[in-house]
Amino acid sequence: MVASSAPAPAELGWKLRRALITASVMAATIMQVLDSTIANVALPHMQASLSAGQDTIVWVLTSYIVASAIATPLTGWLADRVGVKRLLVVAIIGFVLASMMCGAAQNLAQMVGFRTVQGVFGAFLVPLAQTVMLGSYPRERHGQAMAIWGMGVMIGPIMGPVLGGWLTENFDWRWVFYINLPIGVLALTGVGLFLGETARVSRRFDLIGFALLALAIGALQLLLDRGESEAWFESWEIWIWAGLALSGLWMLVIHMSTEAETIIPMALLRDRNVITALAFSMALGMILLAGMALLPPMLQLLFGYPTVTTGLVLAPRGIGTLIAMMAVGRLVGRVDPRLLIFVGLSLTSLSLYQMTGFSLEMDSRPVVVSGLLQGLGLGFIFVPLNTLAFATIAPRWRTDAAGLLTLLRGLGASIGISVVTALLSRNLQVSHADLASQVTPFTVPMVDPATARQLGGVGDTALAMLDLEVNRQALMIAYVDDFRLMMVICLALMPLILLLRRPAVAAGPPPAAHLD
């Protein structure tokens, strides 16, 4: 008699439950990641509705970023104390309620307060979702789990501005927050019904370490946020934030070297894969979100694309990421992950090299092609990198490691956006001066005062058009300079691949804690 190869009912039930858990935590991940960018395009509408000024409305973004960055390191300790499921349920409920309050806010003070609360609860969602995914899949399928989880993390920042713009134009800016309600209800229902609880662990809270880390992170975020408006280090305020950030970091290093149990477990900092992954995560945050901060305004200001068209032109970036993650999820167990990361860095560097050739005469094709290529590259990097980061640490440190990776990715994004924005402004001035120096009466006769007087109003119009064209060309050069810097950062990451170790993969069933 031939034995049946059909899966047993118990196995089918286990797989279905794992699929429902995956869908639930992915909904929570997408909800949080979307909110990091979805509100950006709605700021002008919020400003008028909340009676806020141009310099104060940005606190709607800053309050969320700072609160999320400070709260993220708490994830591991809280998960040990109350359990992963309980913390995830509380985080989803808190995030959705805070989102509703943000949508109902009547003034800037209320909005900033509710966004701060939203940032605190949101800080726990991504690390906890990553921990649940790793715990719900056997070790040999961690690559596939990270591919599924990574789709939400990578696609969210790309789709956020598009969805936010559509909701704002067709409904109201408040819907960028109300949209979290149905997503949150689905995530909460799935987590509550299908996710098992982990054992709670008694672990001392490192209050001094957390305070120093919060000081360093908060001061750094405020430095990055306020730097552009305060002319960076020409302002005493920026020097104060820089001093506080460096002081907090220095004291934290001393504290961690003298204490046995700290807010960041030393077991993680002794792991070569984790440390290397943290460096990669920060650099990826720079490349991913700094690129998304540059491309939409470039397409709208220089090429005149409307919001919807901009979203469509940038969509291939997300499509490339999805394709790469689906492919890499199956390749991680068969191909050396370090080779996949090398391929990803090569593709990303090539896409950035293509972007250094952007010009005002091009159509949308170079943006689409480079975006698709960059999406493929980032997808090839993200999945194997996260797989290697968690492969050499004990399961009990997964949530702490996930929190650190999330924190460094966010800090990298903040640093990257601030750097490319500052360089864009500086290079615009330099390029404008260089181009304007070439405009002389010998090259353009109409700039000669006598010729301009003879032409009258026509001459004034021509000079205005000439100045506008010089500004456009200078801005295009400034964007290209930023893309070149991002390419250099990407190429500089390649030697770090040699520091990653490929551990032996041991097959086995997933930990029962997340499925029982």
Task: Quickly list H helices, 55-206.
Answer: 59-71, 75-82, 84-104, 108-136, 142-170, 175-178, 180-194
| CB burial of residue 397 (10 Å; 0-12, 13-18, 19+) | middle
Residue in the structure block whose two tokens are 């709605």: 42
Give the residue with greater pLDDT, 343 vs 438: 343
Distance from C-alpha of 232 to C-alpha of 226, rounded to nearest angstrom = 8
Name which of 211, 352, 193 is nearest 284 in CA terms.
352
Distance CA 100, CA 96 (A): 6
Q: SS3 sequence, 107-139?
A: CHHHHHHHHHHHHHHHHHHHHHHHHHHHHHCCH
Classify residue 358 by its DSSP letter.
Answer: -
Taking only the tens place, the pLDDT of each residue in 461-472 is 666 666 677 788
| pLDDT > 90 in the chain, percent | 9
Place of tokens 């077991």: 267
Q: Give the pLDDT score at 354.
A: 92
Q: What is the mean pLDDT of residues 305-329?
A: 79
| Predicted confidence (pLDDT) per residue in 68-103, tens digit | 888 888 888 888 888 888 899 999 999 999 999 988
Query: In terms of Cα–Cα distance, which of 81, 158, 156, 83 is closest to 126?
Result: 156
User: Can you tell me the distance from the alpha carbon of 174 to that of 99, in angstroms, rounded to the nearest whole number?
Assistant: 9
Write the CA distances from 27 to 95, 451, 487, integer angstroms: 13, 65, 32
Give the HSE-up count for residue 428: Cα atoms under 13 Å, Cβ half-sphere.
13
For residue 482, how far is the Cα from the chain centroid? Answer: 18
Instruction: Indicate the pLDDT class of residue 6, thresholds 50, 70 and 90.
Output: very low
pLDDT beyond 50 at 407: yes
Question: Packing angle between helix 398-437 and helix 365-391, nearest 10 degrees?
Answer: 150
Q: How far is CA 367 from the centre of its chain?
A: 20
Tokens standing for residue 263: 């807010």
Alpha carbons 404 and 278: distance in angstroms, whole number: 7
- As a whole number, the mean pLDDT across the chain is 79
Specify whether the backbone of 503 is left (phi greater than 0), alpha (psi in -120 to 50) or beta: beta
CA atoms within 13 A on the CB side of 242: 9
Residue 106: pLDDT above 50? yes
**What is the structure's pLDDT at 174?**
84
Lowest mean pLDDT among 131-135, 169-173, 334-338: 169-173
Min mean pLDDT across 45-49, 99-103, 157-161, 486-490 is at 157-161
